[in-house]
Protein backbone atom coordinates (compact mmCIF):
# COMPACT_ATOMS: atom_id res chain seq x y z
CA UNK A 1 0.00 0.00 0.00
CA UNK A 2 1.50 3.34 -1.18
CA UNK A 3 1.18 6.62 0.74
CA UNK A 4 0.08 9.87 -0.88
CA UNK A 5 2.50 12.72 -1.65
CA UNK A 6 1.09 14.89 1.15
CA UNK A 7 1.67 12.13 3.68
CA UNK A 8 5.30 11.77 2.55
CA UNK A 9 6.05 15.51 2.67
CA UNK A 10 4.40 16.13 6.05
CA UNK A 11 6.32 14.47 8.90
CA UNK A 12 4.36 12.65 11.51
CA UNK A 13 4.15 14.73 14.69
CA UNK A 14 3.69 12.97 17.96
CA UNK A 15 2.26 15.05 20.77
CA UNK A 16 2.92 14.12 24.37
CA UNK A 17 1.32 15.61 27.42
CA UNK A 18 3.97 16.93 29.85
CA UNK A 19 3.79 15.44 33.29
CA UNK A 20 4.05 17.73 36.25
CA UNK A 21 6.13 16.21 39.02
CA UNK A 22 4.21 15.94 42.23
CA UNK A 23 6.13 16.57 45.41
CA UNK A 24 5.94 13.55 47.59
CA UNK A 25 6.23 13.67 51.31
CA UNK A 26 9.28 11.57 51.97
CA UNK A 27 8.47 11.28 55.64
CA UNK A 28 4.75 11.31 56.42
CA UNK A 29 5.34 10.76 60.11
CA UNK A 30 5.67 14.48 60.70
CA UNK A 31 8.43 16.67 61.94
CA UNK A 32 8.20 15.78 65.63
CA UNK A 33 8.09 12.04 65.02
CA UNK A 34 11.07 12.35 62.71
CA UNK A 35 12.98 14.37 65.28
CA UNK A 36 12.26 11.86 68.05
CA UNK A 37 13.30 9.02 65.78
CA UNK A 38 16.56 10.83 65.10
CA UNK A 39 17.02 11.42 68.83
CA UNK A 40 16.68 7.74 69.78
CA UNK A 41 19.18 6.64 67.12
CA UNK A 42 22.05 7.96 69.25
CA UNK A 43 22.95 5.60 72.08
CA UNK A 44 24.30 8.41 74.26
CA UNK A 45 20.91 10.13 74.15
CA UNK A 46 19.15 6.95 75.18
CA UNK A 47 21.58 6.33 78.05
CA UNK A 48 21.16 9.90 79.34
CA UNK A 49 17.37 9.62 79.09
CA UNK A 50 17.34 6.31 80.96
CA UNK A 51 19.59 7.66 83.73
CA UNK A 52 17.54 10.81 84.14
CA UNK A 53 14.28 8.87 83.99
CA UNK A 54 15.50 6.50 86.70
CA UNK A 55 16.49 9.42 88.96
CA UNK A 56 13.16 11.15 88.37
CA UNK A 57 11.14 7.99 89.09
CA UNK A 58 12.90 7.07 92.33
CA UNK A 59 12.61 10.69 93.46
CA UNK A 60 8.88 10.70 92.73
CA UNK A 61 8.20 7.45 94.58
CA UNK A 62 10.74 8.08 97.36
CA UNK A 63 8.10 8.01 100.15
CA UNK A 64 6.99 4.55 99.05
CA UNK A 65 10.53 3.24 98.62
CA UNK A 66 11.84 4.48 101.95
CA UNK A 67 8.84 3.46 104.03
CA UNK A 68 8.59 0.02 102.42
CA UNK A 69 12.21 -1.07 101.95
CA UNK A 70 14.13 1.07 104.46
CA UNK A 71 11.51 1.77 107.08
CA UNK A 72 12.45 5.40 107.69
CA UNK A 73 11.28 8.91 106.84
CA UNK A 74 13.36 12.02 106.02
CA UNK A 75 12.82 13.47 109.49
CA UNK A 76 13.59 10.16 111.17
CA UNK A 77 15.87 10.46 114.22
CA UNK A 78 17.75 7.52 115.63
CA UNK A 79 15.60 5.49 117.97
CA UNK A 80 18.50 3.99 119.88
CA UNK A 81 21.81 5.28 121.16
CA UNK A 82 23.71 4.50 117.97
CA UNK A 83 26.17 7.28 117.21
CA UNK A 84 25.68 9.95 114.58
CA UNK A 85 27.82 9.87 111.43
CA UNK A 86 27.43 6.10 111.36
CA UNK A 87 29.41 4.52 108.51
CA UNK A 88 27.62 2.87 105.57
CA UNK A 89 26.06 -0.51 106.35
CA UNK A 90 25.37 0.21 110.02
CA UNK A 91 22.46 -1.79 111.45
CA UNK A 92 20.19 -0.16 114.02
CA UNK A 93 17.55 -1.78 116.23
CA UNK A 94 14.35 0.25 116.57
CA UNK A 95 12.13 0.39 119.64
CA UNK A 96 9.78 -2.00 117.87
CA UNK A 97 12.54 -4.58 117.70
CA UNK A 98 12.94 -4.31 113.92
CA UNK A 99 16.38 -3.87 112.42
CA UNK A 100 17.10 -1.02 109.99
CA UNK A 101 20.19 -1.04 107.80
CA UNK A 102 21.62 2.40 107.02
CA UNK A 103 23.07 1.57 103.61
CA UNK A 104 24.69 5.01 103.25
CA UNK A 105 25.16 5.68 106.95
CA UNK A 106 23.60 8.47 108.99
CA UNK A 107 24.03 12.22 109.31
CA UNK A 108 24.87 14.43 112.28
CA UNK A 109 21.47 13.71 113.88
CA UNK A 110 21.40 9.99 113.16
CA UNK A 111 19.00 10.30 110.23
CA UNK A 112 19.27 7.82 107.39
CA UNK A 113 21.36 9.32 104.57
CA UNK A 114 19.80 7.24 101.77
CA UNK A 115 16.28 8.19 102.85
CA UNK A 116 17.05 11.89 102.85
CA UNK A 117 18.93 11.59 99.56
CA UNK A 118 15.95 10.02 97.81
CA UNK A 119 13.47 12.52 99.22
CA UNK A 120 15.76 15.44 98.33
CA UNK A 121 15.62 14.59 94.63
CA UNK A 122 11.95 15.50 94.39
CA UNK A 123 12.56 19.01 95.71
CA UNK A 124 15.61 19.69 93.54
CA UNK A 125 13.98 18.43 90.35
CA UNK A 126 10.75 20.28 91.13
CA UNK A 127 12.61 23.56 91.50
CA UNK A 128 14.52 22.98 88.26
CA UNK A 129 11.46 22.17 86.16
CA UNK A 130 9.22 24.83 87.70
CA UNK A 131 11.84 27.47 86.98
CA UNK A 132 12.19 26.24 83.39
CA UNK A 133 8.41 26.34 82.90
CA UNK A 134 8.21 29.92 84.21
CA UNK A 135 11.10 31.00 81.99
CA UNK A 136 9.53 29.45 78.88
CA UNK A 137 6.07 30.87 79.59
CA UNK A 138 7.48 34.40 79.94
CA UNK A 139 10.68 34.49 77.89
CA UNK A 140 9.49 32.80 74.69
CA UNK A 141 6.38 34.99 74.08
CA UNK A 142 8.32 38.15 74.96
CA UNK A 143 11.15 37.20 72.60
CA UNK A 144 8.79 36.30 69.74
CA UNK A 145 6.73 39.49 70.04
CA UNK A 146 9.76 41.72 70.49
CA UNK A 147 11.66 40.29 67.54
CA UNK A 148 8.72 39.99 65.15
CA UNK A 149 7.00 43.35 65.61
CA UNK A 150 9.99 45.52 66.56
CA UNK A 151 9.35 49.22 67.04
CA UNK A 152 7.74 50.31 70.27
CA UNK A 153 6.98 46.70 71.21
CA UNK A 154 10.68 45.89 71.10
CA UNK A 155 11.57 49.04 73.04
CA UNK A 156 8.97 48.27 75.71
CA UNK A 157 10.16 44.73 76.36
CA UNK A 158 13.82 45.75 76.22
CA UNK A 159 13.14 48.34 78.93
CA UNK A 160 11.56 45.66 81.14
CA UNK A 161 14.52 43.35 80.52
CA UNK A 162 16.97 46.09 81.47
CA UNK A 163 15.11 46.78 84.71
CA UNK A 164 15.02 43.11 85.73
CA UNK A 165 18.69 42.59 84.87
CA UNK A 166 19.64 45.49 87.15
CA UNK A 167 17.84 44.00 90.16
CA UNK A 168 20.39 42.56 92.63
CA UNK A 169 19.03 39.04 92.85
CA UNK A 170 21.02 37.91 95.89
CA UNK A 171 19.94 40.86 98.01
CA UNK A 172 16.34 40.35 96.91
CA UNK A 173 16.54 36.71 97.98
CA UNK A 174 17.91 37.69 101.39
CA UNK A 175 15.15 40.25 101.95
CA UNK A 176 12.32 37.97 100.81
CA UNK A 177 13.73 34.99 102.72
CA UNK A 178 13.41 37.04 105.89
CA UNK A 179 9.77 37.83 105.13
CA UNK A 180 8.52 34.58 103.61
CA UNK A 181 9.38 30.94 104.24
CA UNK A 182 11.67 29.71 101.44
CA UNK A 183 9.94 26.63 100.08
CA UNK A 184 9.90 24.98 96.65
CA UNK A 185 7.26 27.30 95.17
CA UNK A 186 8.86 30.43 96.61
CA UNK A 187 12.33 29.65 95.25
CA UNK A 188 10.92 28.62 91.86
CA UNK A 189 8.95 31.84 91.46
CA UNK A 190 11.87 34.08 92.40
CA UNK A 191 14.33 32.19 90.21
CA UNK A 192 11.92 32.15 87.27
CA UNK A 193 10.90 35.81 87.50
CA UNK A 194 14.55 36.90 87.60
CA UNK A 195 15.94 34.49 84.98
CA UNK A 196 13.65 34.70 81.92
CA UNK A 197 15.43 37.68 80.35
CA UNK A 198 18.29 35.67 78.83
CA UNK A 199 15.87 33.31 77.10
CA UNK A 200 13.84 36.27 75.83
CA UNK A 201 16.96 37.83 74.30
CA UNK A 202 17.96 34.58 72.61
CA UNK A 203 14.48 34.08 71.15
CA UNK A 204 14.34 37.73 70.05
CA UNK A 205 17.63 37.40 68.19
CA UNK A 206 16.50 34.25 66.39
CA UNK A 207 13.17 35.86 65.49
CA UNK A 208 14.93 38.91 64.04
CA UNK A 209 16.94 36.69 61.70
CA UNK A 210 13.85 34.83 60.46
CA UNK A 211 11.09 37.43 60.23
CA UNK A 212 12.22 38.60 56.76
CA UNK A 213 12.62 35.14 55.27
CA UNK A 214 10.46 34.00 52.39
CA UNK A 215 8.21 31.63 54.33
CA UNK A 216 7.30 34.43 56.75
CA UNK A 217 6.74 37.12 54.13
CA UNK A 218 4.71 34.67 52.05
CA UNK A 219 2.48 33.91 55.03
CA UNK A 220 1.92 37.61 55.61
CA UNK A 221 1.15 38.14 51.91
CA UNK A 222 -1.58 35.49 51.87
CA UNK A 223 -3.20 37.06 54.92
CA UNK A 224 -2.13 34.65 57.66
CA UNK A 225 -2.79 35.92 61.15
CA UNK A 226 0.10 36.90 63.35
CA UNK A 227 -0.53 34.26 66.06
CA UNK A 228 -0.45 31.56 63.40
CA UNK A 229 2.80 32.90 61.96
CA UNK A 230 4.42 33.03 65.38
CA UNK A 231 3.26 29.59 66.51
CA UNK A 232 3.32 27.55 63.29
CA UNK A 233 6.21 29.14 61.38
CA UNK A 234 8.62 30.86 63.76
CA UNK A 235 8.34 28.76 66.91
CA UNK A 236 9.24 25.39 65.29
CA UNK A 237 12.40 26.97 63.89
CA UNK A 238 13.69 27.92 67.35
CA UNK A 239 12.91 24.61 69.06
CA UNK A 240 16.48 23.35 68.59
CA UNK A 241 17.89 26.32 70.52
CA UNK A 242 15.03 26.43 72.99
CA UNK A 243 15.60 22.89 74.28
CA UNK A 244 19.23 23.76 75.03
CA UNK A 245 18.14 26.88 76.91
CA UNK A 246 15.58 24.89 78.90
CA UNK A 247 18.20 22.32 79.86
CA UNK A 248 20.55 25.07 80.97
CA UNK A 249 17.76 26.72 82.96
CA UNK A 250 17.00 23.50 84.85
CA UNK A 251 20.66 22.96 85.68
CA UNK A 252 21.24 26.56 86.75
CA UNK A 253 18.13 26.51 88.95
CA UNK A 254 19.35 23.40 90.75
CA UNK A 255 22.81 24.91 91.22
CA UNK A 256 21.28 28.20 92.35
CA UNK A 257 19.22 26.44 94.99
CA UNK A 258 22.35 24.66 96.21
CA UNK A 259 24.21 27.98 96.43
CA UNK A 260 21.37 29.58 98.41
CA UNK A 261 21.29 26.60 100.76
CA UNK A 262 25.02 26.96 101.30
CA UNK A 263 24.44 30.61 102.28
CA UNK A 264 21.59 29.63 104.58
CA UNK A 265 18.71 30.99 102.48
CA UNK A 266 17.56 27.76 100.85
CA UNK A 267 14.82 25.31 101.69
CA UNK A 268 13.95 25.13 105.38
CA UNK A 269 13.18 22.08 107.51
CA UNK A 270 11.40 19.72 107.25
CA UNK A 271 11.88 20.01 103.47
CA UNK A 272 15.15 18.70 102.09
CA UNK A 273 16.99 19.07 98.77
CA UNK A 274 20.31 17.94 97.34
CA UNK A 275 21.67 21.44 97.75
CA UNK A 276 20.66 21.54 101.39
CA UNK A 277 22.24 18.13 102.05
CA UNK A 278 25.43 19.30 100.38
CA UNK A 279 25.47 22.51 102.41
CA UNK A 280 24.84 20.66 105.68
CA UNK A 281 27.57 18.12 104.99
CA UNK A 282 30.14 20.84 104.29
CA UNK A 283 29.70 22.13 107.83
CA UNK A 284 30.82 18.77 109.25
CA UNK A 285 33.38 17.85 106.59
CA UNK A 286 36.36 18.48 108.88
CA UNK A 287 34.70 17.03 111.98
CA UNK A 288 36.87 14.22 113.34
CA UNK A 289 33.86 12.16 114.39
CA UNK A 290 32.44 12.02 110.87
CA UNK A 291 32.86 8.49 109.52
CA UNK A 292 30.33 8.79 106.69
CA UNK A 293 31.78 10.05 103.37
CA UNK A 294 28.40 9.72 101.65
CA UNK A 295 27.13 12.83 103.41
CA UNK A 296 28.94 14.88 100.79
CA UNK A 297 29.53 12.29 98.05
CA UNK A 298 25.84 11.36 97.80
CA UNK A 299 24.23 14.75 97.06
CA UNK A 300 27.26 15.90 95.08
CA UNK A 301 27.11 12.90 92.75
CA UNK A 302 23.33 13.16 92.37
CA UNK A 303 23.59 16.81 91.34
CA UNK A 304 26.46 16.05 88.94
CA UNK A 305 24.82 13.02 87.28
CA UNK A 306 21.42 14.72 86.98
CA UNK A 307 22.78 17.91 85.44
CA UNK A 308 25.04 15.96 83.07
CA UNK A 309 22.15 13.81 81.86
CA UNK A 310 19.97 16.91 81.37
CA UNK A 311 22.66 18.58 79.27
CA UNK A 312 23.13 15.44 77.16
CA UNK A 313 19.38 15.13 76.59
CA UNK A 314 19.12 18.81 75.64
CA UNK A 315 22.06 18.50 73.26
CA UNK A 316 20.53 15.44 71.63
CA UNK A 317 17.17 17.16 71.22
CA UNK A 318 18.87 20.18 69.68
CA UNK A 319 20.47 18.00 67.02
CA UNK A 320 17.19 16.17 66.46
CA UNK A 321 15.09 19.32 66.06
CA UNK A 322 17.71 21.30 64.13
CA UNK A 323 16.01 22.56 60.95
CA UNK A 324 19.28 22.12 59.03
CA UNK A 325 18.96 18.35 59.50
CA UNK A 326 15.45 18.11 58.10
CA UNK A 327 15.06 16.01 54.99
**Distance, CA of 217 to chain centre:** 33
Burial class (CB in 10 A: 0-12, 13-18, 19+), 205: middle
Give the CATH number, domain containing residue 233. 1.10.3720.10
Q: Does residue 7 belong to any structural domain of this protein?
A: no
Average pLDDT, the chain: 80
**Torsion sign (Cα): 259, 263, 267, 273:** positive
Enter the pTM of the model.
0.81
pLDDT tens digits, one per residue of 143-166:
999 998 888 999 999 999 999 999
Burial class (CB in 10 A: 0-12, 13-18, 19+), 110: buried
Q: Does residue 17 belong to any structural domain of this protein?
A: no
Q: Does residue 190 belong to any structural domain of this protein?
A: yes
Phi, psi angles (nearest 5°) of residue 218: -65, -40
- Mean pLDDT over 116-138 rounds to 93
**Residue 13 pLDDT > 50:** no
Q: Does residue 254 belong to any structural domain of this protein?
A: yes
Q: Which domain holds residue 190?
A: 31-78+111-325
**Residue 28 pLDDT > 60:** no
How many other β-carbons are positioned within 10 Å of the β-carbon of residue 101? 14
Cis status of the peptide bond prior to 128, with omega within 30 of 0: no
pLDDT tens digits, one per residue of 53-80:
999 999 999 888 877 776 665 555 444 4
Q: Does residue 268 belong to any structural domain of this protein?
A: yes
Q: Does residue 89 belong to any structural domain of this protein?
A: no
pLDDT tens digits, one per residue of 242-273:
888 999 999 999 998 888 888 888 888 778 89
**Residue 19 pLDDT > 50:** no
Total domain count, the chain: 1
Q: What is the pLDDT of residue 102?
A: 79
Residues 6 or more apart whose Cβ sits within 8 Å of residue 236? 31, 323
Collapsing DSSP states into helix, strand and coil, what is residue 188? helix
State how far the alpha carbon of 173 is from the alpha carbons of 94, 259, 264, 290, in Å. 41, 12, 11, 32
Q: What is the pLDDT of residue 188?
A: 93
State how far the alpha carbon of 211 is from the alpha carbons of 60, 137, 151, 227, 239, in Å. 42, 21, 14, 13, 16
Q: Does residue 144 belong to any structural domain of this protein?
A: yes
Higher pLDDT among residues 297 and 8, named by residue: 297
Q: Does residue 2 belong to any structural domain of this protein?
A: no
Question: Which region among 17-21, 227-231, 246-250 has the lowest average model confidence (pLDDT)?
Answer: 17-21
Could you give the percent of the chain with pLDDT greater than 90?
32
Amino acid sequence: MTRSTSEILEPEVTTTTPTIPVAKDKDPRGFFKTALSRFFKRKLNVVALVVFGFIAIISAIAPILTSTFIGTTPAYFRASFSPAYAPPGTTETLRTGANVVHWLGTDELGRDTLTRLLHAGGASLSIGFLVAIIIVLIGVPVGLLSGFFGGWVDDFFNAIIQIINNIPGLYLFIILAGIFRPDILFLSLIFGLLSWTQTARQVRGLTLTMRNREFVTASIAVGARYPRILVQHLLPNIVSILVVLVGADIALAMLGEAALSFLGFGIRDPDVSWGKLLANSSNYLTYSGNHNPFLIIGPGMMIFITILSIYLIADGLRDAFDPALRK
